[in-house]
Chains A and B, each alone.
Chain A
């Protein structure tokens, strides 16, 4: 089986983690620069109105900050972008809170936490903050979140001929859920992609889906312990294997990602 070829161009990138607050800073870490001495506390995206920002949990602030950076670097109005947001398991702190509260004697839920507990909360904060009326999809794909979302966004971009915002975000997992996902790292990454025929100089990405029974995530080139931990533990940070190719931008390079138990997706950058 060989799926239809999908081609897009990358017009903008955003990134945020405990030791980087921009794509430029992440590229330095990928290139072997040492970690800064102090870690970041958490983004405070000023695009979210103050009253909403103080209610926004970390996953929302990560997603909005990274998305904003990507749209700014692309020079595209957020309202022009159809969006896909993805997180491996969503906001597990709130999942834990909801379950604990509903299982307790006093079942009254915080309206804010209830409101934030839906999986498309980051998409909601983003579209409200930017006044975006475009469609915003929200994906949860556990360990395959990155490949599934790239495929989803590239299909939309290619078939609808629309510019897209893709945002990957995952925050540390609540202790009770660590037996199924032991992530203690914070990571967000965004891409603005355009249809292949757009007049822009950005990196071209091409996706091909194929049957493959023994797929696993490829090794990173980076030797950084921190980058390695992000990549192995944080579902959204699986996009680092693509980020490395974009950062290098030398000739044609490919990376093969697992897409499901029986399939892979090859992304080729030129």
Chain B
């Protein structure tokens, strides 16, 4: 597993908390693993929850229709980078 940065770990904690991920610790999420589909197995409701949590925690709005949203949600690493860039 790739090493998490400090900001990725913070984002991972947020995800584990708001998604109530069973039997998973924040530091166990591989920052390069796919969040949806075959990777972590998240789905569209999770994407909405993450967007809401990011909006409240970082003040960054993620809109479904925006270009780059799909790329941002690919991995923990890309999501953290997107938020860091836009906050």
Please indicate whether A and B come from the same complex rather than being unrelated chains. yes
A131 sits at the interface (CB 8 A): no
In the complex, chain B residues whose CB is within 8 Å of the CB of A44: 22
Assuming the contacts A110-B49, A112-B49, asked whether A51 and B55 have C-beta atoms less than 8 A apart, the reply is no
Residue in B22, B41, B45, B56 whose CB lies within 8 Å of A111 = B45
B residues apposed to A, CB below 8 Å: 18-22, 41, 43, 45, 48-49, 52, 55-56
For the complex of A and B, 3 pairs with smallest distance between CB atoms: A54-B20, A111-B48, A54-B22
Instruction: Assess A54 versus B45: contact at CB under 8 Å? Given A106-B56, A108-B52, A110-B52.
Output: no
In the complex, what residue of chain A is closest to B47 when comparing beta carbons? A111
- Considering the chains assembled together, what is the distance between the CA atoms of A63 and B56 in angstroms? 32
The A/B interface has a contact count, at CB < 8 Å, of 26
Are A55 and B22 interface neighbours, CB within 8 A? no
Q: A106 to chain B: which residues have CB within 8 Å?
A: 56
Measured CB to CB, the residues of A under 8 A from B are 44, 50-51, 53-55, 106, 108, 110-112, 115
Distance in angstroms from B16 CB to nearest chain A CB is: 10
Inter-chain CA distance A111–B55, complex, in Å, is: 14
CB-CB < 8 A to B41: which residues of A?
50-51
Q: What are 19 of the A-B contact pairs (CB < 8 Å)?
A: A50-B22, A50-B41, A53-B22, A54-B19, A54-B20, A54-B22, A55-B20, A55-B45, A106-B56, A108-B52, A108-B55, A108-B56, A110-B18, A110-B49, A111-B49, A111-B52, A112-B45, A112-B49, A115-B45
Q: Nearest Cβ in chain A — how far from B73, in angstroms?
A: 15
A115 to B55, CA, bound (A): 20
CA distance A51 to B22 in the complex (A): 9
Residue of B nearest to A57 (CB): B20
Q: Which residues of A contact B43 (CB under 8 A)?
A: 51
User: With the chains together, A111 CA to B64 CA distance in Å?
Assistant: 15
A116 to chain B, nearest CB (A): 11
Q: Report the bound CA distance from A53 to B41 in whole Å.
A: 14
User: A residues within 8 A CB of B45?
Assistant: 55, 111-112, 115
Q: Chain B CB within 10 Å — which of A53, A106, A110 has the most? A: A110
Which chain B residue has the least Cβ–Cβ distance from A109? B52
Considering only CB atoms, which chain A residue lies closest to B42 in the complex?
Answer: A51
The answer for the CA separation of A115 and B48 in the assembled complex, in Å, is 12
Kindly list chain B residues whose C-beta atoms are within 8 Å of the C-beta of A110. Answer: 18, 49, 52
Q: What is the bound-complex CA distance between A110 and B20, given in angstroms? A: 13
- With A and B bound together, what is the CA distance between A105 and B47 in angstroms? 23
Q: Are A54's CB and B52's CB within 8 A?
A: no
Pairwise interchain contact B49-A54, C-beta atoms closer than 8 A: no
- From A54, A108, A111, A112, B21 is in contact (CB under 8 Å) with A54
Q: Which of B18, B20, B55 gathers most chain A CB within 10 Å? A: B20
Contacts of B22 in A (CB 8 A): 44, 50, 53-54
Q: B24: nearest residue on chain A (CB-CB)?
A: A54
Q: Which residue of A lies closest to B46 (CB)?
A: A51
| A185 and B21 alpha carbons, distance in the complex (Å) | 26
What are the residues of chain A within 8 A of B56 when measuring CB–CB?
106, 108
